[in-house]
Homo-oligomer: A and B are copies of this chain.
Amino acid sequence: MNNNLIKLYKSLYLTRFVEETISKNYSKGQMRCPVHLSIGQEACATGLIENLKKTDKLFSNHRCHAHYLAKGGNLRKMLSEIYGKNNGCVGGVGGSMHLQDQSVGMVSSIPIVSSAMGMATGNALYQKRNNLNEITVIYCGDASLEEGIFFECANFASLHSLPIIFACENNLFSVYTNIKERQIDSNFKKYASAFKIPYKKIDGNRVDEVYKSTKKIINLVRKKRKPYFVQMDTYRYKEHCGPSDDDHLKYRNSNEVKFWQSKDPISYAKKLMKKNNINEKKIKKIEAKIEIFVNKQFKHAEIDKLPNYKEASKHIYV
């Protein structure tokens, strides 16, 4: 249990520290692409993905840093990509919204809302047809449930009983717009039920709960080869796109903000560790090690070279 907690915390803290560093350094103007930070939402990524095997496949959207890191994606390549450098995971053609790392099963991040949904479903079809022991996870936001393609994929996944988990991070907002203005309520069970897809709602800020619940779900999906819908309620701290807070804009209720801050996934995990007799010192040591590692990767990315413009016209076709 303790080992597990530590593993989870490492992943959480890595993600948080990487994104805090992005946030801190963004204004230097070297990360010249839009960034969508997951700060506040880390447990949704860590808790579930920690249960996946390397061979399991992950798909993501515009807010993909946490998923990439939790899946074990190469940090240096991620940062180099965000810096627009030649060592980027896709050589700089994609930027922050297109992270992928084939070597760990982080297949694709697509910044068009719900666009990765079809590909993920196709991936699960492939796994099923070829009797692979893998599963597919598609991370999506609450707004992605408003795109027709989600329903098309849910229908197909259910009809063909595919090993796919729709992992929905409900942070209540699409950019500045509350889910109340977009959907009739924020209980997604109704969508899953429409396709007889089993559903579970999880507190997305509690890494232990996400971990425990999704462990069972993942086992089920792997064994039974059928889809599952997981709703993880959570909250984003920073602005939708960019490095800063935007609470001054007042589109989010300040009590709501406070409520979610009191449920901070990192603090929560820390408390858990303490409860399990992992002391402050040990935690600090873990954190320090991560920080050193992360800072080094940032340095690397900063000094990586810009790609040669001739690369831009390559790979249009295979």
Kindly state whether residue A184 has any CB partner on chain B within 8 Å. yes
Nearest-CB distance from A170 to chain B (Å)?
16
Inter-chain CA distance A148–B149, complex, in Å, is 5
Inter-chain CA distance A155–B190, complex, in Å, is 12
Inter-chain CA distance A147–B155, complex, in Å, is 10
Kindly state whether residue A159 has any CB partner on chain B within 8 Å. yes
Mark out the residues of chain A between 132 and 184 whose CB falls within 8 Å of any chain B CB in the assembled complex.
146-152, 155, 158-159, 182-184
Contacting chain B: which of A53-61, A192-200, A250-258? Answer: A192-200
Kindly state whether residue A26 has any CB partner on chain B within 8 Å. no
On chain B, the residues within 8 Å of A149 by CB distance are 148
Kindly state whether residue A268 has any CB partner on chain B within 8 Å. no
On chain B, the residues within 8 Å of A155 by CB distance are 146, 183-184
Instruction: Select from chain B the residue with minimum beta-carbon distance to A194.
Output: B194
Instruction: Select from chain B the residue with minimum beta-carbon distance to A197.
Output: B184
Given contacts A146-B155, A148-B149, A151-B151, contact A184 B190 (CB under 8 A): no
Given contacts A184-B158, A184-B159, contact A194 B191 (CB under 8 A): yes
Determine if B193 and A194 form an interchain contact, defined as CB atoms under 8 angstroms apart: yes
The CB with the most chain B CB atoms within 10 A, among A147, A151, A182, is that of: A151
Determine if B195 and A193 form an interchain contact, defined as CB atoms under 8 angstroms apart: no
Inter-chain CA distance A190–B193, complex, in Å, is 7
On chain B, the residues within 8 Å of A194 by CB distance are 190-191, 193-194
Interface residues of A (CB under 8 A from B): 146-152, 155, 158-159, 182-185, 190-191, 193-196
**CB pairs A–B below 8 angstroms (12 shown):** A146-B155, A147-B148, A148-B148, A148-B150, A148-B151, A159-B182, A184-B195, A184-B196, A190-B193, A190-B196, A193-B194, A194-B194
